Structure 1
Amino acid sequence: MARPTAEKAQDILMSDFQTLVADTEKLLAHTASLAGEQADELRDQINESLVRARETLSVAQAALRERSQEAVVATEEYVQANPWQSVGIAAGAGFLIGLLATRR
């Protein structure tokens, strides 16, 4: 049950970053009509930043997926090895959340 939620959150985060990069590319394309040496330098700098952002994004995405997968596996192993402790922890957390929610 936790696995689909974590994967969905990762997908949303990666989608948002990819949208940011795509929007920046559109901005770069719209600045193509600008003329002059400074505009060319600005476009080159933006383009270099986009390339670095894409590389960083792909590395971060792979690392995030790997770490979250490890966390999900570790949690599942713990719950399977200690089912009653897991139930107790979940009940305690639910009780605390209930107390905090009713204090409003």
Structure 2
Amino acid sequence: MASKSAKTAQDILMADFQALVRDTEKLLEHTATLAGDQADDLREQIHDSLLRARETLQLTQDSVRERGQAALTATEDYVQSNPWQSIGIAAGVGFLIGLLATRR
């Protein structure tokens, strides 16, 4: 359940960042009508920054997916190799959550 909310938050963050990049690209296209060397330099700097941001975003996304997959694999391996301990842990956690929920 916590991993689902973390994944959702991560997806929202990634979507927001991608929207920011797209909006900046549109702004860059709209400023193409500006004249002068300074405007050209500014557009080039923005374009370079966007390329770096996209690369960084892709690397971060890949890294997070790899870590998440590794954690999932490790959890599945533990549960499969220790099924009774996993059931005991799950029952204990459920019991504690039940106690906390009834005290409110």
User: Is structure 2 residue 65 aligned with structure 1 residue 44?
Assistant: no
- The runs of 4+ residues in structure 1 deviating greater than 6 Å are none
User: Is structure 2 residue 22 aligned with structure 1 residue 19?
Assistant: no
Matching of residues 58-77 of structure 1 within 5 Å: 58-77=58-77
Higher mean alpha-carbon deviation, 9-18 vs 62-71, is at 9-18
**Number of corresponding residues:** 102
Residue type of the alignment partner of 1:74: A
Q: TM-score, normalised by structure 2?
A: 0.70
* Correspondence for 2:89: 89
Q: Which has the higher contact order (CA 8 A, sep 6+)?
A: 1
- RMSD over aligned CA atoms reads 3.3
Q: Identity of aligned pairs, percent?
A: 68
Higher mean alpha-carbon deviation, 65-74 vs 12-21, is at 12-21
Deviation at 1:90, TM superposition (A): 2.4
Q: TM-score, normalised by structure 1?
A: 0.70
Contiguous gaps of at least 5 residues in structure 1: none
Deviation at 1:100, TM superposition (A): 4.6
Q: 1:45 to 1:102 in 2, by over 3 A?
A: farther
Deviations 1:44-69 (A, max 9, x none): 11111111011112222222222211
Deviations 1:61-90 (A, max 9, x none): 222222211111111011111122222322
